[in-house]
């Protein structure tokens, strides 16, 4: 091992490596989290749904910052050109459209003041820390790791479809307008992830890089999971809301 090559494992086959990435989703994606189960089965109180919506806004609203951080490191114009639509999808145009505005429609539908939600006041510190860790990861780590960390989108369409169905079945606020964010992602995410997955499979051409890519995807599942842990801790048992975080009754539509 001292010479840096002896004993180095051969890369996995493309198929095996893709399967290993997909297994990370099976084992660790946040659809396995108790809060997710509670939300989708109709077991959340209106306030728990609100807590989820306003915290998750922090994540949604930082996705374009993350994608811009990625583009700020891409010396290849073609890679930037392919990546740019992610920012367009989330930010939308000057006047309308975009996932962030659609998320604020959901906020309104659950009775929250969208300006309050957009102010980010009331979000759990743990939410912010997780989201900021993701933006920093994409800004600082090798490009391969940065792309690999986006591959949770492999697992997203299933969760979005399940989310639409579960929310529609169980909550009065659920309708075409309030759930438009998830419907839109059903078509956007597969396009993005097809590009990202191919890029990762093409570029992870050594065992070391394959392991780095898998670690990056694992990191990203932690970013998502930690956000639900924080929600579950703060808003399911009484008396656990940290100082300064949203409390039921705050930030409601007038």
Stretch that binds a copy of itself, among 8-16, 45-53, 67-75, 152-160 (CB under 8 A): 67-75
Contact between 91 and a copy of itself per CB under 8 A: yes
Residues 102-121, interacting with a copy of itself (CB under 8 A):
120
Nearer to a copy of itself, 48 or 55 (CB): 55
Please select the residue that binds a copy of itself; options are 87, 117, 146, 156, rule is CB under 8 A: 87
**Cβ atoms 13, 21 nearer than 8 A:** no
Please, which of residues 154-173 interact with a copy of itself by CB under 8 A? none
Residue from 48, 55, 61, 210 in contact with a copy of itself (CB under 8 A): 61
82 is a site residue for a copy of itself (CB under 8 A): yes
> Contact region for a copy of itself (CB under 8 A) — 22-30, 71-79, 171-179, 203-211?
71-79
Contacts of 21 (CB under 8 A, 6+ apart): 148, 151, 154, 197, 200, 213, 214, 217
Question: From the list 84, 165, 194, 252, which residue makes contact with a copy of itself (rule: CB under 8 A)?
Answer: 84
- With tokens 């995807």, the residue in question is 217
């Amino acid at each position: 091992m001292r010479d840096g090559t002896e004993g180095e494992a051969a890369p996995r086959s493309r198929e095996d490596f893709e399967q290993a990435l997909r297994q990370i989703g099976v084992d660790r994606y946040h659809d396995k989290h108790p809060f997710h189960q509670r939300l989708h089965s109709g077991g959340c109180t209106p306030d728990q749904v609100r807590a989820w919506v306003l915290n998750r806004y922090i994540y949604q609203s930082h996705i374009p910052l993350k994608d811009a951080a990625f583009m700020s490191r891409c010396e290849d114009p073609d890679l930037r050109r392919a990546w740019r639509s992610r920012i367009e999808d989330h930010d939308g145009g000057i006047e309308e459209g975009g996932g962030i505005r659609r998320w604020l429609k959901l906020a309104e539908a659950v009775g929250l003041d969208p300006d309050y939600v957009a102010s980010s006041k009331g979000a759990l510190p743990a939410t912010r820390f997780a989201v900021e860790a993701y933006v920093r990861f994409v800004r600082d780590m090798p490009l391969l790791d940065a792309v690999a960390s986006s591959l949770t989108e492999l697992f997203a369409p299933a969760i979005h479809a399940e989310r639409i169905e579960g929310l529609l079945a169980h909550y009065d606020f659920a309708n075409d307008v309030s759930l438009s964010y998830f419907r839109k992602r059903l078509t956007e995410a597969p396009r993005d992830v097809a590009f990202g997955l191919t890029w990762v499979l093409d570029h992870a051409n050594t065992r070391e890089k394959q392991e780095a890519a898998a670690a990056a995807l694992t990191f990203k599942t932690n970013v998502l999971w930690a956000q639900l842990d924080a929600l579950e801790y703060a808003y399911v048992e009484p008396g656990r809301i940290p100082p300064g975080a949203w409390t039921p009754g705050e930030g409601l539509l007038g």
